[in-house]
Structure 1
Amino acid sequence: MTMPALLATKLFVPPPRSQAVGRPRLIEQLDAGIRSGRKLTLISAAAGFGKTTLLSDWVAEIRQQEPRMRVAWLSLEASDNDPVRFLGYLVAALQQADTDIGAEIPVGQQPTESTLTTLVNDIARSAHQILLVLDDFQLIEDKSIRDAVVFLLDHLPSTLHLAIASRSDPLLPVARLRARGELTELRAADLRFTPDEAAAFLGPVMGLSLSREDVASLEARTEGWIAGLQLAALSMRDRTDASAFIAAFAGSNRFVIDYLIEEVLERAPLNVREFLYQTAILDRLSGPLCEAVTGQAGGAEMLETLERSNLFVVPLDDRREWFRYHHLFADVLRVRLLAHGPEHVAALNGLASEWFENNHLPEESVRHALAAADFARAARMIEATIPSVRKSRQDATLLGWLALLTDDAISRRPVLGVFSAWASLLSGDIAAVEPKLARAERSLDAIHESKPGPELDTLPVTIALYRASVALATGDLAGIRTHASRALELTSPADHLGRGAAGGLLGLGEWATGDLEAGVAAFADAAGNLRLAGNLTDALSTTMVLADMLIPLGRLQESRRAYEAALREAAVKLGGGPPTADLHGGFAEVLIELGDLAAAEEHLAAGETLGWAAFSHEHQYRWFVSKALLRQAQGDLDSAIDLLEQAKQRYRRGFFAEARPIEAMRARILILQGRLPEAQAWADAHGLTPRGDLSYLLEYAHITLARLLIAQRDPAADELLENLRGAAEAAGREGVVGELRSLVGRPTVEAIAHREGLSERELQVLRLLATELTGPEIARELFVSINTLRTHTRHVFEKLEVNGRPAAIRRAREMGII
């Protein structure tokens, strides 16, 4: 799996300016934060207060004074709000300090708690002290990314210190860190130039000869705002009467900024001014790129001139090839550029998009094409990025682009049409999917012969898969088989990803119809293809589906072995990342069925330790279901009810068969508690009757209804149970058959015990096993030796087909023996 190329310039520490005002008072505060072991340094102030410059100077000081400390720097952009993209850059930044950090984190991972745990552990093992700088953090709005940073702060190893520069206070636990003495913070009041610093800046740095009074006056008028002082200095360079200018310089901060920028821009040579306006659309600047946008030669020389003139350009690499404008300056330039008209702005973005396309930077080409409203180019470039963006799982980026394209641009490109349908499928707009697929199919037929290509060749497979997904979502069982089989027919032998997806959908369809043997075979084949495609995470996730089908087939030990193997592989090859938490939760269900409640408790605890973020959205509820089943097996029925309620709140309807609905599980517990009117209300609400449709997806509910009828001594239970057993036997669902055999025709406890082959003595043993008595105490109660008790107990377990006391108690309660 590959990731779109990372911009090395985002990891570059801006070099200290050759002529800059030293700020030892601030450097000392920053140093003190590290020496005292505080977790976070926060530099928070509006634009133009020198946050990045201060951090750059600090890093230079650290490298000189503390050569053992390594620095990881990440300059953030608005596009970094994609969680996968952010984690990729975060790992890359940390690897600038220590190449071993994050080496085991697969490309394209979400910043889940499990992934972040791996990252934290790597940092903790590092032999280096590391300073991690996140610059321009105000651009991060994605909650999951902020949560990831909070996790890092909460578990920060002693080897790492985090520094954040932001124009606004980040949505992080700043108050908590401050209260604990774990925060160093510098704000606008700290960053403002003092009169002495202002004098040093305006004199030696900016080359002005001002009186002490003029400096003090200007410092007061700008309130020490560094960018304001810089702009004022630029506008005074050619004035003969600086004192008069300063005396006349007044007004609110906003108007002061407007005035200074007008003065600077209007006094700049025409060619410089035009260059600034035309290149304002660019997030980063290079000589060739600027030449392409402006249509003028000498782009590199102009950037050098701007840097020498302190015209708000910041170098992004040590070769001075890439620069950016100071953010505030760029904002103002873009506002003034709009005065030239939107057509002019669109034309400049079009030129930029063309340059980025020609230089193999498709993502930036897309952004500028969209800004230029050149939707045809944007569509073409989005198609070019789809393989890398999807492989790296930056789905949020792709969906954002698709939302900005016009219908016309999408309709001309079948690949985009299919992915637009995928976007509708993800959003739950099922009705919109088929029209989009049909339109893409027509477009594909029209262009495929004249323009073949790998994306177009595999598109019919994708279309069939999405149609199968729609059928699955709408309960069209025949449609699932039709479209998934069609996808499988269309895939080439080498298309393992397509074959894996088609096999999985076929398996889901077979599961929903109750042909579990066919479903198991289909999913085993799907898992193999997913492995061949390099998608181990999804391959291991199929274990849960396989186990859910193996349990009603009565193949519990096979389920156990599948989970054990999957967890071992996830630990070794995925570092305990997804889908490890899901697997722990699912395995607990199998262990409860086997009566190994202690092991089930251990796996539930292991999943909980990984954190809720480590669970997939579809499977988080399963942990609560397993916990409820465990509490039920332990006899704590009230807790089981509460846990099922929590499971219901977390349930997300996915593509998986709802073979054991949460409400039906709850009804079974209500029956055990004797709360029969509530259980009857559940049956009525779901329209369940003894002579209702016996489809597989209703089998668990109908068995629950049979339990209710038995508890109500309703003779209709016998006919229902016989019909259910006949259907289960015909389909080979031996696990279900075993449960039904325990329920059919159970008029008395003694009759049920006799049907299971239990002797009167073994029935006595079983009843005592359900108490809190120990083995020796039960033996004394029965006046037998401990060895004789063990023999009776072993016979009970064999006859009930369980392998432990808790499982025997649970099975006996299910059958009504105790």
Structure 2
Amino acid sequence: MAGPLLETKLHVPRGRRGLVARPRLSERLSRGAESTLTLVSAPAGFGKTTLLAEWLAGAPAEGRSAAWLSLDRRDNDAALFWSYLVAALQAASPGVGAGALMLLQSSQTPIEAVLATLLNDLSASSDDVVLVLDDYHVIDARDVQDGMAFLLEHLPPQMHLVIASRADPTLPLSRLRGRGELVEIRAADLRFTPDEAAAYLNEVMGLVLTAQDVAALEGRTEGWIAALQLAALSMQGRADIAGFIAGFAGDDRYIIDYMVEEVLQRQPDNVRSFLLKTSILSRLSGPLCDAVTGQHGGKPMLEALDRGNLFLIQLDDRRQWYRYQHLFADVLRAHLLDEQPDRVHELHLRASDWYERNGERSEAIRHALAAEDFERAADLVELAIPAMRRSRQESTMRGWLEALPGEVVQVRPVLIVGYAGALLLGGELEGVEARLEDAERWLDTTTGTHVLPEASPAGMVVVDDEEFRGIPGTIELYRAALALARGDVPGTEGHARRALELSPEEDHLRRASASGLLGLAYWTSGDLDQAHRAYADCMAGLRRVGHVADTFGCAIALADIRRRQGRLGDAMHTYEQALQLASEQGGSVLRGTADMYVGISEIHRERNDLPTARQYLLRSQELGEHLGLLQNPYRWRVAMARVREAEGDLGAALDLLNEAERLYVSDFFPNVRPVPAWRARVWVEQGALGEAIGWVREQGLSATDDLSYLREFEHITLVRVLLAQPRAERAEGSIDEATQLLDRLLQAAEEGGRTGSVIEILVLQALAHQTRGEIPAALVSLERALTLSEPEGYVRVFADEGAPMAILLRAAARVAPGEQEGIARDDVRRLLAAVDKTEDSPPVSQGLPEDRQGLVEPLSKRELEVLRLLGTDLDGPDIARELVVSLNTVRTHTKNIYAKLGVNNRRAAVRRAEQLDLLSRTRDR
């Protein structure tokens, strides 16, 4: 960050002496602590902060830990807001939030993941915590409000949230109210009752007022506490109290102006001067006040004001930091501007200088901007950019830059590039290139590099030499990201290469970023070897600069690439290495661990170790989505859907895929296996061809499309749909289309080194030949697939094809030695044992001889029963009811029957069965 967190924002304000006891409100707050949210909503001056501070003073006695956060406008930066909120909770419960703070340091972590980590910590904690967010009305950033809504929705029972605000926040209050999870305290509740007003005026403020005077004043103020306090201060020392009360009238603004004027006029000149000069400060300390006023004695002055109840709120237990009551500060500033407008500039500059010298650059920038010393502010912003980038405070940085006049920014190339980066990270692509071109105009175009600051063109301003020297590489880096966001793969590759050329060898972070973008470009285009090399370079660079958490994203990409290359063993090694590296760091589990377990699960599934695959998915789930990358929720559901599919529960698989599609969020990784294509495959397996064909039409797919890696998975899925279509619809056309498309897909995948795709394509080639009765050709394709897959332990790519693959594998096992020497008998038997079997299928080793039914693979008893009913007028649901099985089971049997008979529809199956005299055998039984 551009400065440390301000601890004074985390302190519960100290209770004031002689406050009026308000047990009715304290009891209400205590009862409300059993709900999710207590909202204390009222205009300024109704004692919200004082009430909550007094109530929390008794929280330890009630077994609660108190956490407090005083908010201000700067907290609309999401990263800053959540950093403060976590820090506040840690002050009350030290065991929570470490993982969340670590995630906040990563620019790729979604806020929901940070909050999920925090919520898990809170759920596991035994501490009962009350968190107060004071002055919440200053928060209007949409992303912060969305995060707060998420937090409220998942708040554990041992945590209670209290929001104090001048206006109702943009949160799901209606839903909470409907659930009985919201307690509300509003202005009508906070107003002083006549008894409370009397206690305050006479006992606290030392006045001697009659019951009639109190009633009159309470009636005039309607119990408004700030007005009563101002009136009490004004009445001190007056002789004509009754006359003062009689003349007390007007609306809120006039009351405040009148009362403050009364108070200020009664202060000694030195006190009045101190109040006005320090009114520009959001918080006050003795040394800071001395710097701003140009005098000594700031600390004793603050202590005296505190003793005099002059609208000062203590922010810590050491009496070092205070703030004025907001309403009082507003009026003081108005008087300062009215009386000494020429002094405001100087006062803000003094504050800016003090904050800079004390290492609080954000506050220094704020006061420089308030002073309209834009050159100074620009200098400070330029020096703050690296820290703001690291702490994900791009929105704050952007706000500063937009507050600076255009002519100031335009001569500062570091600021121009910083603004372009803030726009890019904010998703506003249109303005990025123009800013980059503006920055480039300050570079030495004759050499294609940059000029040194000391040799800069007239008018150019550079404060941070190191940032300036990195501008050429940063410009190309941002252009590469811009091109990637727009789908321009060649542009991404070109700019990323240029960024590498322009970044020195010791600039590990910038070079790692460029390598990562280059890897994405190669991956998207299907050049997986190059993609792997680029990602390996990215990972190495991140390690050198200590960004271990970010290396997980690279490791997941590297493993994904290896899996697509058919190198399951290498992929597993990548996962294991990354997990080992993380374990050596100590501390919390790193974000991305959940994704690692999903990837490991997918390898175990492919190797047909379904129990272990499920175990790793459950471990991933136990860690929680907050320890996964952006796409973990979607990836987990796809992986579990594939396990359920392998287990035969296609309905559950479809439900999971539907969830995955809903949760899919795009990131920079290419979406080479989209969820709708997975769903179409399950439809094919279910026999729901209408839905699968609808998907084909929706995607605009055809067998004659130009091929690309991004759509390779979809085109392979199209082949499955074509092979499943009934002969009655397409005759031989669909098989021809599928065969021709497979030939082209195979060539493209082999040229790209995508062995994972090659194996699946060869399996489908074998099945296509089998459908045509071309068994020798089918076995040739099968042999090639087995040769490629056996060293890596592939099983499910064969087993998922069910009965048709079993037929081919048995045929392969019966080939005489020497005829198919490339097929290992042991491997065939291992795969046969893994093929899904229907409930009545005979064991693989005990299959009926071929001549018993005239088939390579005989029909089971249950399949013969289904076949008989296919010859009737019963539809699928009727057949299911007749056999007392599920419709999915009937579809599975029907699919196996079609495969064994070599047909593609019901009518052809019945006709083929009659030719083989199979139906008469079922009747004989």
TM-score in same-fold range (> 0.5):
yes
Any idea what the Cα deviations from partners look like across 1:39-90, whole Å, max 9, x if unmatched?
A: 6665444332223223333444556x68x86543332323233333233333
Match of 1:463 in 2: 475
Q: Matches of 2:93 and 2:568 in 1, distance apart?
A: 46
| Structure 2 residue aligned with 1:322 | 321
- 8 Å CA contact retained: 1:85, 1:394: yes
Q: What CA distance in whole angstroms lies between the structure 2 residues aligned with 1:180 and 1:708? A: 48
Contact 2:516 2:538 in 1 (8 A): yes
Deviation at 1:200, TM superposition (A): 3.0
Greater Cα offset, 429-438 or 208-217: 429-438
Contact 2:589 2:627 in 1 (8 A): no
Counterpart residue number, 1:800: none
Q: Which amino acid aligns with 1:696?
A: Y
Selected match of 1:743 from 746, 764, 767 = 764
Alignment of structure 1 residues 530-541 onto 2, 5 Å: 530-541=542-553
Give the equivalent residue in structure 2 for 1:47: 44
Q: Which residue of 2 aligns with 1:90?
A: 85
**Equivalent residue in structure 1 for 2:453, among 423, 448, 451:** 448
Which 10-residue stretch deviates more, 712-721 or 497-506? 712-721
Residue 71 (structure 2) aligns with: 76
SS in 2 for 1:744: helix
Query: Residues 383-403 of structure 1, C-alpha deviation per residue, up to 9 Å, x if partnerless?
Result: 222222222223332233334
- By how many angstroms is 1:741 displaced? 1.7
Pairing of 1:86-125 with structure 2 (within 5 A): 86-103=81-98, 105-107=100-102, 109=104, 115-116=114-115, 119=118
C-alpha separation between the residues in 1 aligned to 2:473 and 2:321? 43
* Conserved? CA contact 2:672–2:713, under 8 Å: yes
> In terms of mean alpha carbon deviation, does 730-739 or 666-675 score higher?
666-675
Q: Which amino acid aligns with 2:439?
A: A
Aligned residue type for 1:480: T
For 2:379, give the aligned amino acid.
R
Q: Which residue is equivalent to 1:408? A: 407
Which whole-Å CA distance do the structure 2 matches of 1:379 and 1:427 have between them? Answer: 21
| More divergent stretch after superposition (768-777 vs 525-534) | 768-777
1:759 aligns with 2:818: no
SS of alignment partner, residue 443 of structure 1: coil
Matched-pair contact (CA < 8 Å) for 1:357–1:365: yes
Aligned to 2:786: none
Residues 1:523 and 2:535 aligned together: yes
1:703 aligns with 2:716: yes
Deviation at 1:440, TM superposition (A): 1.9
Shift of 1:219: 1.9
What is the Cα deviation at residue 557 of structure 1? 3.2
Are the structure 2 counterparts of residues 683 and 113 from structure 1 closer, same or farther at C-alpha, using a change threshold of 3 Å?
Answer: closer
Change over 3 Å in CA distance of 1:761–1:486 after alignment to 2:
closer
Mapped partners of 1:506, 1:151: distance in 2 = 40
Q: Is the 8 A contact 1:108 1:393 kept in 2?
A: no
Q: 1:134 to 1:677 in 2, by over 3 A?
A: closer
User: Is the deviation greater in 331-340 or in 731-740?
Assistant: 331-340
The alpha-carbon deviation at position 339 of structure 1 amounts to 5.0
**Aligned residue in 2 for 1:422:** 421
Q: Conserved in 1, the CA contact under 8 Å of 2:115 and 2:626? A: no
Is the CA contact (8 Å cut-off) linking 1:560 and 1:591 kept in structure 2? no
Aligned to 1:659: 672
Paired with 1:693 and 1:28, the residues of 2 have a C-alpha distance of 72
Aligned residue number for residue 147 of structure 1:
149
Give the Cα separation in 2 of the matches to 1:25 and 1:428: 50
SS at 2:133 equivalent: strand
Q: Which residue is equivalent to 1:549?
A: 561
* Contact 2:90–2:97 (8 Å) recurs in 1: yes
Q: TM-score, normalised by structure 1?
A: 0.82
**1:164-212 deviation line (CA, Å, top 9, x unaligned):** 4444455667777778887776544444333343233222432322222
Question: What is the one-letter code of the residue matched to 1:375?
Answer: F
Residue 611 (structure 1) shift: 5.8
Alignment of 1:115-514 (within 5 A): 115-116=114-115, 119=118, 131-141=130-140, 142-147=144-149, 149-150=151-152, 154-157=155-158, 163-169=162-168, 186-253=185-252, 255-265=254-264, 267-268=266-267, 272-273=271-272, 275-294=274-293, 299-300=298-299, 302-335=301-334, 339=338, 348-444=347-443, 445-446=450-451, 448-450=453-455, 453-514=465-526
Please tell me whether the aligned partners of residues 288 and 300 of structure 1 are also in contact (alpha carbons under 8 angstroms): yes
> How far, CA to CA, are the matches of 1:239 and 1:151 in structure 2?
54
What is the aligned partner in structure 2 of residue 725 from structure 1? Answer: 746
Note the C-alpha offset of 1:633. 4.4
- Letter paired with 1:758: L
CA gap of 1:24–1:706, structure 2 versus 1, over 3 A, is: closer
- In structure 1, distance between residues paired with 2:353 and 2:714: 61
Q: Is the 2:3–2:359 contact (alpha carbons within 8 Å) kept by the matching residues of 1?
A: no
Structure 1 residue 298, shift from structure 2 partner: 5.0
Letter of the 2:52 counterpart: L
SS in 2 for 1:743: helix
Distance in 1 between residues matched to 2:375 and 2:35, nearest whole Å: 52
The 1-side partners of 2:46 and 2:401 are apart by 37
Which moves more between the two structures, 451-460 or 179-188? 179-188
1:162 Cα deviation (Å)?
5.0
Q: Does the alignment pair 1:773 with 2:839?
A: yes
Q: Distance in 2 between matches of 1:657 and 1:574?
A: 32
**CA distance in 2: counterparts of 1:393 and 1:151, whole angstroms:** 25
Q: Structure 1 residue 363: deviation in Å?
A: 0.4
Q: Distance in 1 between matches of 2:118 and 2:427?
A: 34
Per-residue deviation, residues 88-109 of structure 1 (Å, max 9, x unmatched): 3334334434544434554462
- The structural deviation recorded for 1:324 is 1.0
1:491 CA drift (Å): 3.8
Partner SS, residue 431 of structure 2 = helix
Alpha-carbon separation, structure 1, partners of 2:641 and 2:16: 63
Q: Which runs of 5+ in 2 are unaligned?
A: 444-449, 456-461, 783-807, 815-828, 851-857, 859-888, 903-925
CA distance in 2, matches of 1:670, 1:611: 30
CA 1:43–1:694 in 2, change beyond 3 Å: closer, same or farther? closer
Of residues 412-421 and 121-130 in structure 1, the stretch that sits farther from structure 2 once superposed is 121-130
Q: Does 512-521 or 74-83 show the bigger shift?
A: 74-83
The alignment status of 1:694 with 2:707, answered yes or no, reads yes
| Separation of aligned partners in 1, 2:11 and 2:577 | 43
Structure of larger gyration radius: 2
* Higher deviation after alignment, 752-761 or 328-337: 752-761
Give the corresponding residue for 1:562: 574
- Following the alignment from structure 1 to structure 2, what is the Cα–Cα distance between the partners of residues 8 and 574? 24
Q: Distance in 1 between matches of 2:180 and 2:744?
A: 69
| Amino acid corresponding to residue 311 of structure 2 in structure 1 | F
Q: TM-score, with normalisation over the residues of structure 2?
A: 0.74
Aligned residue pair count: 786
Give the counterpart letter for 2:53 in structure 1.
S
Task: Indicate the SS of the match to 1:73.
Answer: strand
Greater alpha carbon shift after TM alignment, 419-428 vs 612-621 = 612-621
Question: Partner of 2:539: helix, strand, or coil?
Answer: helix
Query: Per-residue displacement from partner, 1:397-426 (whole Å, max 9, x unpaired)?
Result: 223333434433332222222222223323
Residue 502 of structure 1 deviates from its aligned partner by: 2.2
Question: Offset of 1:326 from its aligned partner?
Answer: 0.5
Give the partner amino acid of 1:368: H
Distance 1:565 1:652 in 2: 27
Q: 1:687/1:271 Cα in 2 relative to 1: closer, same or farther (>3 Å)?
A: same
SS of equivalent residue, structure 1 residue 657: coil
For residues 155 and 337 of structure 1, the distance between their equivalents in structure 2, rounded to whole angstroms, comes to: 47
Deviation at 1:231, TM superposition (A): 0.7
CA distance in 1, matches of 2:643, 2:486: 33
Looking at structure 2, the residues matched to 406 and 462 of structure 1 have their Cα atoms a distance apart, in angstroms, of: 23
Distance 1:323 1:615 in 2: 41
Q: Answer yes or no: is the 8 Å Cα contact 1:414–1:440 preserved in 2.
A: yes
